[in-house]
Amino acid sequence: GHKGEVNSVSFSPDGETIASASSDQTVKLWKLDGTHLTTLTGHTDKFNSVSFSPDGKTIASASSDQTVKLWKLDSKESKDFTTLKGDTDQVWSVSFSPDGKTIATVSSDKTIKLWNQDGALLKTLKGHTDRVTNVSFSPDGKTVATASYDKTIRLWKIGSLPSVLQGQQGHTDEVYSVSFSPDGKTIASASRDKTAKLWSWDGKESKPLTTLTGHTNRVWSVRFSPKNSKTIATASWDGTIKLWSWDGKKSEELATLGGNGKKGHAGSVFGIAFRQQDGQTIASVGSDKNVVLWDLKNKTMKQWKSGHKANVVDVSFSPDDKMIATASDDKTAKLWNYSDGKYLRTLQGQQGHLDEVNGVSFSPDGKMIATASDDKTAKLWNYSDGKYLRTLQGHNERVMNARFSPNGKMIATASFDRTVKLWKPDGTLLQTLSGHNDWVWDVSFSPNSKTLASASRDKTIRLWHLDSIKQQSSNIDSLLTDGCKWLHDYLVTNPNIENSNRHICD
């Protein structure tokens, strides 16, 4: 038997097996007649809790070594486990959701953490003021109950959790770029591991499809052709752009643009963008400070010097394809005429960015431009005259990208503070999405604006479901509207209201 205190026991779903967790740093499995089946070892401190998954194939254990382990019971190896790392103090309890897809853990660090079956951290819940000692899911899996030394029991509505793209077929290094296909059914990601990957997406689940290999250095950007979901372009630090095809079953490299002494960029390629209307032109920018236009149909290219004084790191076409925007480490974004490469204006000034500009994008209606910067902000600019509109301020670290949703109702920003923030175009912060364990490099909306993908240094892509966020926004808007209706007569007729305040709801 055990050589230390037994802290937790759990029946298997079929009632045939008992698991016991002990301070002797083991979990033991037993038959109902007391026959010992196996011993699970791997934690470096006492076991505090043990739980079976609903299908009985996995055991989760929580330990004072600040980790949770998932053990596959159909494995012949007693040390075949996945370790969930993220807590900063002893983990006291672990519980599976009724469908087995989510695992909840609680810790002395006062937090509740939600994980998926692959060991990816989905969400951290904060609110308790002392160690959290127990956790349990409601039968429908929509609510988590927690018990704490702060003398409270808290109920948490889980809401929608992000999907995480990783695992054995995932990237092996940080993910720099992510993009949705025009039909929304495929996601492309680009990584420091010198590959791009394609993933399926049906609105709920994602699976790995294929890996695009051929670049000899980190792949910095990936984009789909706007005219079909079968053509993909990748940009790399190896100085080339590669074109790929995907027919739903296999991928193929179609062409390599630049590199090996060919015409093109004399250095790393950082940003690429397809021309919207025909998908036959690619604009690219890089460390040589040039803008290059590639005519895919006629297999020709032209380039012009950008006038930037440092690396040009991002490029974007306006919705009408008449203008190109570039972002640079020289703290500016510039606008150019597409047809002749004529310089139009620079987005800067007294209210401009104070540090490197990492990303630039146009709103779907073409009326605004968003820029993201190392100065920890994103800024919005008027398209027609380049005048500054407002600053999106709230991140604690550099902002790497700012993207408009296709419906124009939201802007997503990606930051080195490990979060994604969602904003209304008027500058209102809607929500902060937390879950990545390292810098967030890029974000991309699905064509229907219902899903947001984020790419991170933590080697994962996360898919965030946005329906609840949009509903929350509309509820706030309707609340403000109704509130102003109720206050209207009071504001108009009350003699004690100053004239300047009578029109706050107009």
- Answer yes or no: do 169 and 70 share one domain: no
Closest-CA residue to 224 (of 182, 171, 283): 182
Query: 112 and 42 in one domain?
Result: yes
Any domain includes 216: no
CA 32 to chain centre: 46
Q: Please indicate, yes or no, whether residues 89 and 169 belong to a single structural domain of this protein.
A: no
The answer to whether residues 128 and 109 touch, using CB atoms and an 8 Å cutoff, is no
- Closest to 237 in 3D by CA, of 270, 274, 266, 206: 270
**pLDDT of 42-57, one tens digit each?**
788 888 889 999 999 9
Q: Is the pTM of this model over 0.85?
A: no
Contact yes or no for 210/250 (Cβ under 8 A): yes
**Residue 405 domain-assigned (yes or no):** yes
- Tell whether 359 is covered by a domain: yes
Determine the 3-state secondary structure of 491 from DSSP: helix
Domain count, the chain: 3
Residues 372 and 505 grouped into a single domain? no
How is the beta sheet containing 440-445 ordered, strand by strand?
A: 163-165, 461-465, 451-456, 440-445
| Residues spanned by the domain of 493 | 474-506
Which CATH number goes with the domain that contains 55? 2.130.10.10
Same-domain status, 167 and 150: no
Q: Is residue 239 part of a domain?
A: no
Listed in sequence order, the residues at least 6 apart from 506 whose beta carbon sits closer than 8 Å to its beta carbon are: none
Both 409 and 488 in a single domain?
no
The one-letter code for the residue type at 372 is A
DSSP reduced 3-state for 154: strand
Claim to verify: residue 35 and residue 147 sit in the same structural domain: yes
Cα–Cα distances in angstroms (integers) from residue 123 to residues 162, 170, 249, 389, 397, in the given order: 8, 20, 34, 34, 20
Q: Are residues 384 and 410 in the same domain?
A: yes
Q: How far apart are CA 210 and CA 202, in angstroms?
A: 16
Question: Residue 196: inside a domain, yes or no?
Answer: no
Could you tell me which residues come within 8 angstroms of residue 225 by beta carbon, excluding any fewer than 6 positions away? 182, 231, 232, 233, 274, 279
Closest CA to 406 of 371, 452, 360, 373: 452
How many whole angstroms separate alpha carbon 445 and alpha carbon 463? 9
Same-domain status, 303 and 436: yes
Tell whether 259 and 299 lie within a shared domain: yes
Does residue 211 lie within any of the structural domains? no
Residues 376 and 95: their CA atoms lie apart, in Å, by 38
Q: CB of 177 within 8 A of CB of 441?
A: yes
* 159: its two tokens: 């809401």
Backbone angles phi, psi at 139, to 5 degrees: -55, -30
**pLDDT tens by residue, 444-503:** 999 999 999 999 999 999 999 997 665 444 444 544 555 555 455 555 666 666 666 666
CB 44 within 8 A of CB 69: no
Q: In a structure prediction context, what are the per-residue pLDDT tens digits for the chain, which is 506 residues long?
A: 888 888 899 999 999 999 998 888 888 899 998 899 888 887 888 888 899 999 999 999 888 888 888 988 875 555 567 888 777 788 999 999 999 999 999 989 999 999 988 888 888 888 899 999 999 999 998 899 999 999 999 998 887 778 888 766 789 999 999 999 999 999 999 999 999 999 999 888 888 999 999 999 999 999 999 988 999 999 999 999 999 999 988 999 999 999 877 888 999 999 999 999 889 999 999 999 999 999 998 888 998 888 899 999 999 999 999 999 999 999 999 999 998 889 999 998 778 999 999 999 999 999 999 999 999 999 999 998 999 999 999 999 999 999 999 999 999 999 999 999 999 999 999 999 988 889 999 999 999 999 999 999 999 999 999 976 654 444 445 445 555 554 555 556 666 666 666 666 66
Do residues 169 and 317 share a domain? yes
Nearest partner of 291 among 232, 244, 238, 335, judged by Cα? 335
Same domain, 500 and 460: no
CA distance 368 to 318: 10
Is 213 inside a domain boundary?
A: no
In this structure, what token pair is assigned to residue 436?
């990545």
pLDDT digits (tens, 9 = 90+) for 284-300: 999 999 999 999 988 88
